[in-house]
Amino acid sequence: MNKPVKEEKTSKKKDSKLVKKLKQKMYKWHRTLGIITLIPVIFWTLSGLMHPFMAHFFKPTIANERLEAKPIDKTQLALSIQEVLEQNKITEFKNFRIVSFDNATFYQIKTVKDELSYFNAFNAKKLENGDQKYAHWLSRYFLDDQKSAIVKTDIVTEFTSQYKYVNRYLPVYKTTFDRPDGMEVYVETSSSKLATFNPKSRQAFIWFFDTFHNWSFVDAISNNSIRIAVMILFLSIIFFSAISGIVIYGLFWKQFKKTDSLAPKKGLRKYHRQIGIWVSLFTLTFAFSGAYHATTKWNPYTLDKMVYEPIFETKDIHTPNNAIAIDWNRMENVSLVTLNDSIYYRCQLALTKNKKYEAPKMDSKSKWGKKENPKSEIVYVNTKTNKITPNLDLEYAKFLAHYFSDTGAKAACCEMEAGTTEKTSLEDTPLLETKVLNEFESREYGFVNKRLPVIKLAYDTPEKTTYFIETSTSRLAAVIENSDKIEGYSFAIFHKFLFMDWAGKNVRDLTMVLAALVVLIVSVLGLILFIKKN
């Protein structure tokens, strides 16, 4: 009878030794992983703490965030676009629109060389250095500053450490003003839009965030691929460090409690453990979503190239633009569109209080006009017949989606941002949803996409591909697939705490700050312990 009892005690002793050895190994690995990632975690949490403060709590403001559209004064269009082109011996061009500044109205013409030229609509004279002058006018308008001297003007054709890819617009003008805040204003003259603005305080923050959160210093000594690989490696180590901490202080909690009762841990060591077990969840979510998000940065940004720009011949535009059969009291702007072997004037008309907006006829699942109230009415006028063709904006959006998804010569200029080299043809693919977006949707088409209004086209493809088309510029604003949605939700929920939206942006940002702060505290405590022990 004694023998089995002895064997049982021996088994328990063996189990105890095994657990002890495993615990020691786990603790050693946890300490090693923690030491490796201490500095990266401190960099990420410090820069992460600054983001909500600078992006929300201490966000700089500007007088005007957008150029309000106003009806065109038809009396200023003494000459039609055809007459101006002919007088300047321009036989072909890519497009035109109308802009008004410095008490004059101009035709902004995009040439076949992708240059923007400005011609006075009253006398057809070319405005020398017109694009820069318009950029200066826009910058002063957005700032509401007509007095400060302009120190420098640059044309930005690619994203930089100060003008990040989240701003989307390219090319843009960067205008630097001689002011105490050292304001820099970025504008896209082809659409009259404000891209971003950076006073000195924001410039310093962008540098700090780019250096310590995006690790741009790695780019300086290597390239983007190595930077992403290094970031993913360290985030993976942080993830496993947090896992090991949970295992040690969770699964082996009883063993640690027993050890602490015999030799209680005091001071920093005690608080590092107590706080660490509570913040492990935040560490896991930050590290996982950060690494997942970093994987999307392998592919270069190409949306700036996704634009449809056919070449128009002046002789093919029959109806003068100042003779379009439209309500000129509401005409805000006009450009050219080619569709189904016809050329149309795409007219943007202001909505009036007395005019009820009639939504275009779409499929039964369309949400056009149900939730968002459009700010303008879009009308297409045939340049040959001078007659309105209804509901063409949706058809044009579909055409552009087909164009951008085409694997042939049409889209040979660039690859899709989604990163796939093979694209599904949309020719016979049914549409699941069509919708106009006049406001950003945080869950799918967020403010980082910049362009509005856009038409959403969700196709029934295996990847549930959704295109967001800006018909006013014939551009692809975004393309989203299932994989992008999953990553987007991961980053929004686990990294930016979108699940706290119900409490408001202030509470959400405060929660995110506190989460990053406790992770930072645990990391600093760990660093101090390591220094003291060594």
Alpha-carbon distances, residue 376 vs 211, 279, 331, 507, 516 (angstroms): 42, 49, 10, 35, 43
Radius of gyration of the chain (CA): 30
Cβ atoms of 211 and 218 within 8 Å: the answer is: no
Query: Which tens digits make up the pLDDT trace of 380-432?
Result: 999 999 999 988 999 999 999 999 987 433 443 444 443 443 445 677 789 99
Which range (133-142, 160-169, 367-376) has the least confidence? 367-376
Q: Is 262 helix (H, G, I), strand (E, B) or coil?
A: helix
* Angle (nearest 5°) at CA 101 between 100 and 103: 100
Cβ atoms of 398 and 362 within 8 Å: the answer is: no
Q: What pLDDT sits at residue 442?
A: 67
Query: Which tens digits make up the pLDDT trace of 23-44?
Result: 666 666 666 777 777 888 888 8
β-pairing verdict for 475-480 and 193-198: unpaired
pLDDT beyond 50 at 80: yes
Structure tokens of 495?
């990294």
Q: What is the mean pLDDT of residues 76-99?
A: 97
Query: Which tens digits make up the pLDDT trace of 474-484?
Result: 999 999 998 88
d(CA 415, CA 420): 8
Structure tokens of 295?
């994987």
Query: Which tens digits make up the pLDDT trace of 278-300?
Result: 677 788 888 888 888 888 887 77
Most confident of 60-74, 107-121, 193-207, 236-250: 107-121
pLDDT beyond 70 at 456: yes
The number of helix segments (H) and strand segments (E) in the chain equals 11, 17
Structure tokens of 123?
């006398």
> Starting from the edge strand earliest in sequence, which strands make up the sheet with 475-480, in order?
431-437, 454-459, 466-470, 475-480
Cβ atoms of 245 and 276 within 8 Å: the answer is: yes
